[in-house]
Chains A and B, each alone.
Chain A
Amino acid sequence: GEDVEQSLFLSVREGDSSVINCTYTDSSSTYLYWYKQEPGAGLQLLTYIFSNMDMKQDQRLTVLLNKKDKHLSLRIADTQTGDSAIYFCAESAPASGGSYIPTFGRGTSLIVHP
């Protein structure tokens, strides 16, 4: 499948901004996604961006997309201890039956310390 790359760990101080980066390979991806996984739980969609957008903001979250470099980032402003989780970047790859399969990066563990 297509590769989605992201760094494995990020440590920030409470109140600072966190920036999680991701690179993807499928230039035809129409949507790109960020999922959050809290300890002991499955993944939940956090936000997504349509490929014709450069930026999307949703409260403390800002998603930036650079299509030329196939680079996606997630910025969390005023990071709180409750933001500690694993964050997955994802794209959709075409598959059988006209479906699209979510393809995930390895996940970035965000650790927020006081």
Chain B
Amino acid sequence: DVKVTQSSRYLVKRTGEKVFLECVQDMDHENMFWYRQDPGLGLRLIYFSYDVKMKEKGDIPEGYSVSREKKERFSLILESASTNQTSMYLCASGSPAGVYTEAFFGQGTRLTVV
């Protein structure tokens, strides 16, 4: 089975801290995604990567950056955490097969910024 593992289920950080959210997948997928999930807003794409060292902004990249040094690992970085970044963060991976793109998700990281 495909496994996407996020490093933490729950995190509490202080305003202004630099926060790293790590995601690892074990299926050699080219594509990796970071989404943010908020009640009533669904999933919003922050960044995605379609290859090592390649990254593209999603719909809400402000305040975030990403790193993909190895194919299996995609990190989301909050440069200076703010309370409005309190949310559930979901990492996903997928391997394009034509236009069929099933996404495999990690269990999520619930981040609280105080």
Question: Do A and B share a complex?
Answer: yes
Residue of B nearest to A108 (CB): B42
Q: Is the CB of A99 within 8 A of B31?
A: yes
CB contact under 8 A between A95 and B33, given known A42-B107, A44-B105, A106-B42: no
Assess whether B40 is in contact with A31, with CB atoms less than 8 Å apart.
Answer: no
Q: Chain A residues near B58: list those with CB within 8 A.
A: 1, 101
A55 at the interface (CB under 8 A from B): no
**Residues of B with C-beta under 8 A to A59:** none
**Chain B interface, >50% SS class:** strand
What are the residues of chain B within 8 A of A105 when measuring CB–CB? 42
With an 8 A cutoff between CB atoms, is B56 at the interface? yes
Q: Are the CB atoms of A48 and B96 closer together than 8 Å? A: no
B residues with a Cβ closer than 8 A to A are 4, 30-31, 33, 35, 40-43, 45, 48, 50-51, 54, 56, 58-59, 90, 92, 94, 96, 98-103, 105-108
Q: List 18 A-B contacts (CB under 8 A).
A: A8-B40, A30-B98, A30-B100, A40-B107, A42-B90, A42-B106, A48-B102, A92-B100, A95-B48, A95-B50, A96-B56, A98-B96, A100-B99, A101-B45, A102-B33, A102-B92, A104-B35, A106-B41
Further contacts, 16 of them, CB under 8 A, given A40-B108, A43-B105, A101-B33: A31-B99, A40-B107, A41-B107, A43-B90, A88-B42, A92-B99, A95-B48, A99-B48, A100-B96, A100-B99, A101-B45, A102-B101, A102-B103, A103-B45, A104-B35, A105-B42
Please give me the 5 A-B residue pairs with the lowest Cβ-Cβ distance, nearest first: A42-B105, A106-B42, A97-B50, A30-B99, A104-B43
